[in-house]
C-alpha cells in the first residue's frame, strides 16, 4: 500500500481554484467572452479569491518559490544578485545593512544600502536602483570613531564616523557599528595603515547639537545671512545683515548665530505662511542679491524674516519651505504618507522605495530588496 491521493473533492478550495481558473482546454478566443482582450477565464474572480487565499493555510499565489520552479531562472538570478561592483579579485570581508548620511547643498538625508568592508575599501551599495552611495579606499581613512546617539525615533544607536584625510567625515549608521569598526581596523592593520589612536569626534554639527530637542531632527541646513534688528543709540533700532546658519528641522525653522552661540530667530513650522525670493541691494557692495523673505505668524501679528545666501540655495530653500506650507495647509495628497517612525511626510512611493530621508526609516520590504 503506497501513499493514497487525497480526493479532489476533499482538497481545499485553493487546489480547486488553481485547476479550474488557470487551466483547462483553451478555445479560440473569438468565440468566448473576454475582458479588454484578455480571455475571461479566471480573470474576474481574482478579487474574491485574493481574500480567500489569505485565509487559507496553503500560502498566497504570489509567494512563489523561485528557487525550485525553474533551475535556469535560478541561475540567472544568482548572476543578477551579485551586482555589487567588486573589482577583480576583491574580497568581501563583511557585508551589513547600513545607511550613509548624504548632504549636498541644503539637502540632507540618510540613504540606506549594504555596507561592504572589503580587502581594499569600504563602500555602501544600493541594489535597486543600483547606485554606489559611498566609496572610500582605506588609504583615505585617517581615523574611526563611534558615537552613541539618540536618533530621531528616540532610539539609542551607534553611529560610526570615518574621518578622512581630506578633512571630510563619512557618517554611517550600520546595524552593528562596533563590528564594522573592528573589521576596518583589523584590515587596516593588516595593510600596515595607521589609524589615529583616539581621534576626537569632529563636531559634525555642533550648533545643531546645542539646540535640537529630543525627537527633533534637521532636514535642511546651510550657511545663511540674516537681517538682524539691532538696538541703536538713541533708543532706535537698525537692521544689519549677519552671517549664521539657517536650519529647518521637523519642528521649526531657525537661524543660529554662531558669533553669539545661540538661536536668534525661530518659528514653528506650523506658523510659516509664505516664502518668496526677490532681488535686493543689501547695502555696500552687495547689490542685486537674492533674498528669501519668510512670512510667519506671531502672537503680535504676521512678521517677515529676511535671509540671503547663494542663488541656488535661495531657490532650494523657497521650494523646501513652500513644501512645508503646502503640506500643512492642504490635506495630504492621497499618495502621501507619514513616516511610521518619525512622522515626516513624504510621497508614499518615495517612502517605500527610498526610505524616510529624515530619520532613516525604511520599510521591511525595502530592507529585503536593497
Residues at the interface with another protein (CB under 8 A): 1-9, 11, 13, 15-17, 19-28, 30-33, 35, 40-45, 47-49, 51-52, 57-61, 63-65, 67-71, 93-96, 176, 178-179, 182-183, 186
CA-to-CA distance for 220 and 250, rounded, in angstroms?
9
CA-to-CA distance for 266 and 268, rounded, in angstroms?
7
| Cβ-based nearer residue to another protein, 186 or 268 | 186
Task: Assign 355 to helix, strand or coil.
Answer: coil
| Cβ-based nearer residue to another protein, 49 or 136 | 49
- The candidate with the shortest Cα–Cα distance to 292, out of 310, 278, 304, is 278
Residue 341: CB minimum distance to another protein, A: 25
Q: Tell me the CB-side half-sphere exposure of residue 218, using CA atoms within 13 A.
A: 24
Q: Which three cell numbers stand for residue 63?
A: 509567494
| Cβ-based nearer residue to another protein, 11 or 306 | 11
| Cβ-based nearer residue to another protein, 33 or 285 | 33
Residue 33: CB minimum distance to another protein, A: 5
| Cβ-based nearer residue to another protein, 4 or 300 | 4
| Cβ-based nearer residue to another protein, 45 or 212 | 45
CA-to-CA distance for 139 and 271, rounded, in angstroms?
48
- The candidate with the shortest Cα–Cα distance to 112, out of 352, 349, 338, is 352
- The candidate with the shortest Cα–Cα distance to 360, out of 95, 81, 124, 123, is 124
Q: Which three cell numbers stand for residue 78?
A: 544568482
Residue 257: CB minimum distance to another protein, A: 43
Residue 71: CB minimum distance to another protein, A: 7
Residue 83: CB minimum distance to another protein, A: 17
Indicate the DSSP class of residue 301: E
CA-to-CA distance for 302 and 241, rounded, in angstroms?
21
Residue 92: CB minimum distance to another protein, A: 10
Helices (H), 257-355: 311-329, 348-354
Task: Assign 96 to helix, strand or coil.
Answer: strand
Residue 144: CB minimum distance to another protein, A: 13
| Cβ-based nearer residue to another protein, 34 or 232 | 34
- The candidate with the shortest Cα–Cα distance to 106, out of 16, 25, 220, is 220
Contact 318, 326 (CB under 8 A): no
- The candidate with the shortest Cα–Cα distance to 110, out of 368, 295, 366, is 366
User: Cell numbers 479588454 correspond to what residue?
Assistant: 36
Residue 189: CB minimum distance to another protein, A: 13
CA-to-CA distance for 226 and 160, rounded, in angstroms?
34
| Cβ-based nearer residue to another protein, 11 or 212 | 11
Residue 66: CB minimum distance to another protein, A: 8
Q: Which three cell numbers stand for residue 79?
A: 548572476
| Cβ-based nearer residue to another protein, 49 or 273 | 49
Indicate the DSSP class of residue 333: P
Amino acid at each position: 500500500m503506497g501513499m493514497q491521493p487525497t480526493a479532489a473533492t476533499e482538497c481545499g478550495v485553493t487546489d480547486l481554484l488553481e485547476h479550474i481558473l488557470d487551466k483547462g482546454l483553451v478555445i479560440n478566443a473569438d468565440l468566448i467572452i473576454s475582458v479588454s482582450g484578455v480571455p475571461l477565464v479566471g480573470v474576474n474572480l481574482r478579487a474574491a479569491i485574493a481574500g480567500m487565499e489569505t485565509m487559507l493555510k496553503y500560502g498566497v499565489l504570489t509567494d512563489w518559490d523561485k528557487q525550485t520552479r525553474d533551475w535556469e531562472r535560478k541561475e540567472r538570478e544568482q548572476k543578477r544578485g551579485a551586482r555589487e561592483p567588486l573589482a577583480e579579485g576583491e574580497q568581501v570581508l563583511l557585508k551589513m545593512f547600513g545607511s550613509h548620511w548624504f548632504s549636498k547643498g541644503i539637502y540632507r538625508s540618510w540613504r540606506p544600502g549594504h555596507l561592504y568592508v572589503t580587502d581594499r575599501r569600504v563602500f555602501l551599495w544600493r541594489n535597486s536602483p543600483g547606485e554606489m552611495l559611498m566609496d572610500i579606499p582605506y588609504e583615505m581613512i585617517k581615523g574611526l570613531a563611534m558615537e552613541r546617539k539618540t536618533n530621531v525615533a528616540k532610539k539609542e544607536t551607534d553611529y560610526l564616523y570615518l574621518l578622512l584625510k581630506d578633512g571630510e567625515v563619512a557618517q554611517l549608521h550600520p546595524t552593528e557599528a562596533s563590528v564594522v569598526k573592528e573589521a576596518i581596523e583589523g584590515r587596516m592593520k593588516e595593510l600596515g595603515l595607521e589609524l589615529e589612536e583616539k581621534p576626537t569626534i569632529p563636531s559634525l554639527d555642533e550648533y545643531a547639537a546645542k539646540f535640537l530637542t529630543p525627537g527633533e531632527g534637521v532636514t535642511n541646513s546651510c550657511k545663511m545671512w540674516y537681517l538682524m534688528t539691532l538696538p541703536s543709540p538713541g533708543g532706535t533700532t537698525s537692521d544689519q545683515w549677519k552671517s549664521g546658519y539657517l536650519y529647518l528641522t521637523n519642528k521649526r525653522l531657525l537661524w543660529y548665530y554662531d558669533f553669539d552661540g545661540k538661536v536668534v530667530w525661530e518659528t514653528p513650522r506650523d506658523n510659516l505662511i509664505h516664502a518668496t525670493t526677490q532681488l535686493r541691494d543689501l547695502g555696500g557692495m552687495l547689490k542685486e542679491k537674492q533674498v528669501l523673505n519668510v512670512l510667519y505668524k506671531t502672537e503680535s501679528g504676521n512678521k517677515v524674516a529676511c535671509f540671503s545666501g547663494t542663488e541656488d540655495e535661495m531657490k532650494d530653500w523657497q521650494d523646501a519651505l513652500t513644501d512645508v506650507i503646502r503640506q500643512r495647509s492642504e490635506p495630504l495628497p492621497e499618495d502621501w504618507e507619514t513616516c511610521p517612525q518619525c512622522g515626516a511626510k513624504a510621497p508614499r512611493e518615495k517612502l517605500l522605495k527610498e526610505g524616510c530621508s529624515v530619520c532613516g526609516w525604511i520599510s521591511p520590504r525595502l530592507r529585503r530588496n536593497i
